[in-house]
Amino acid sequence: MEQIAITGIAAEGKAIAKYNDWVVFVPFVVPGDVVDIQLTRRKNSYAEGRAVHFHKYSEVRTEPFCEHYGTCGGCKWQILPYPEQIRYKQQQVTDNLTRIGKVELPPIAPIIGSKKTEFYRNKLEYTFSNRRWMTQEELQSGETFDDMNVLGFHIPNMFDKVMDIKQCRLQADPSNAIRLEIKNFCLKNGFSFFDLRNSSGLMRNIIIRTSTTGEIMLIVVFFENDMEKITALMQHLADKFPAITSLLYCINQKANDTITDQEILVFKGNAHIFEEMEGLKFKIGPKSFYQTNSEQAYELYKVARDFAGLTGEELVYDLYTGTGTIANFVARRCKQVIGIEYVTEAIEDAKVNASLNGIDNTLFFAGDMKDLLNTQFIAEYGRPDVIISDPPRAGMHDDVLDTILFAEPQKIVYVSCNPATQARDLSRLDVKYKVTRVQPVDMFPHTQHVENVVLLELKV
């Protein structure tokens, strides 16, 4: 398709163009670009494609800051200036709440942008592979490339292809230095990089976690149990990076990458790092969830607490509490908080975090929300005055919404990472609740993701 004008941004971060009756989704372009598109997929009402030639560059376009832009799946929006990115996110929230929610809305507050637009993540995971992703230029160069070992990010939708990362601008140093040192050490010493198709090789993944307290956790995941090589690498890292306060490793011989069911061993330092917020300490183990943009998590939690309007007398339910961060964050401003979450280890962390901070008015329960939160639970632990809910992208299950409607809290603070499912749930709650405040928050610059906090108040 030739000379096609890009006209908008779609929910999933790709840009859109119109062609006859079709909507065409195209990555790595922005509204205002005029391009030739090669179709990669065709359905009845829409198509997907990629820009193969630019006739005109949009006036809003900016230079990408990352050398991996265009191949790496992260930071897709870096060709849009940040003010444009958050304008689209604000629009995304408005569109979802009005078109899907169809509920009466107050004015939507201007989105809270992220002060840091680079190096804002506190956690990154890199994968080893012996099948390096080759760029178009490399393939067309006719050169032969001997070294196919890489340590980097998966190419979107290709489980066995990994692109080599030279510098990632998502996590502050020494994140890049650690990754590069590990790769060099493994290459120099002939350590085998993982073969994702045949499940073989020594080196599998690394996970780097940083914190606003300055602590650093590194988890090196091996596939083979070769203690001589494992010790050599871990000792080298301990010597080279004394700043790592929690140096861990794991031997994962399963088919999949997740380490939540694996034993994590301490090579040096502590088994955890700490994150801090308003003097509260949060202990983060290698398997614990913590919001990946710490500074913006604080902004988000302040909005949620402000919307809850606590006086010290309330019983608060914190649904989908994770490691109890919101529950502990609001605990000092209310009578009691009950946190519910289905990951048992997260609930254990939540309890540890409460006691670490001398908080004794929280109760935490592990279980699937739709099973645990029912009329019996409410009868036993009391009707909440305020419910704070921060569900996963899928939103809340119908049974959970029914129980909330039965419980009739005065206020519901609904924190969401997916305004589309949030809008759907708001329309279900509309029978008894009125939306009185809406505050979008940007946690992930250069991506299409947006968080949105909504306050619902019981209709009189």
Size of the site for ligand SAM (CB under 6 A): 17
Buried b / exposed e across 364-385, counting CB within 10 Å, b at 16+? bbbeebbebbeeebbeeeeebb
Binding range to ligand SAM, per CB under 6 A, among 103-111, 178-186, 222-230, 314-322: 314-322
Question: Beta strand 22-26 with 46-56: parallel, antiparallel or unpaired?
Answer: parallel
Binding pattern to ligand SAM, positions 345-364, x when CB under 6 A? -x------------------
Q: Answer yes or no whether residue 149 interacts with ligand SAM by CB under 6 A.
A: no
285 near ligand SAM, rule: CB under 6 A = no
Residue closest to ligand SAM (Cβ)? 322
Cβ atoms of 105 and 438 closer than 8 Å: yes
What is the rounded (10 degree) CA torsion for 323, 327, 332, 334? Answer: -160
Closest CA to 454 of 432, 439, 443: 439
Question: Using the rule CB under 6 A, is 321 a contact of ligand SAM?
Answer: yes
Residue closer to ligand SAM, measured from CB, 19 or 298: 298
Shorter beta-carbon distance to ligand SAM: residue 104 or 380? 380
Taking the alpha carbons at both ends of the chain, their separation in whole angstroms is: 56
For residues 162 and 205, the answer to whether their CB atoms sit within 8 Å is: no
CB-count burial class (<10 Å; 0-12, 13-18, 19+) for 70: middle
Question: How many Å apart are CA 71 and CA 401, to the nearest integer?
Answer: 41
368 binds ligand SAM (CB under 6 A): yes
Nearer CB in complex with ligand SAM: 245/418: 418
Q: Which of 15, 80, 326, 420 binds ligand SAM (CB under 6 A)?
A: 326
* Binding-site member from 72, 330, 369, 441 for ligand SAM (CB under 6 A): 369
Nearer Cβ to ligand SAM (111/373): 373
Binding-residue pattern over the window 389 to 428 for ligand SAM, x denoting contact by CB under 6 A: -xxx------------------------x-----------
Which range touches ligand SAM (CB under 6 A), out of 99-107, 253-261, 336-344, 353-361? 336-344
Instruction: In angstroms, give the least distance from the CB of 173 to ligand SAM.
Output: 25
Give the residue, chosen from 84, 299, 314, 341, that forms a contact with ligand SAM under the rule CB under 6 A: 341
Going by the DSSP 8-state scheme, the letter that residue 193 receives in this structure is B
Q: Is 417 a catalytic residue?
A: yes
**139: nearest Cα among 62, 56, 71, 207:** 71
Question: With contact defined as beta carbons under 8 Å apart, do 20 and 37 qualify?
Answer: no
Strand-pairing partners, residue 282, are 275
Cβ atoms < 10 Å from Cβ of 205:
19
Q: Which is nearer to ligand SAM, 37 or 441 (CB)?
A: 441
> Catalytic positions, please?
417
- Which residues here bind ligand SAM, judged by CB under 6 A? 289, 291, 320-322, 325-326, 341-343, 346, 368-369, 390-392, 417
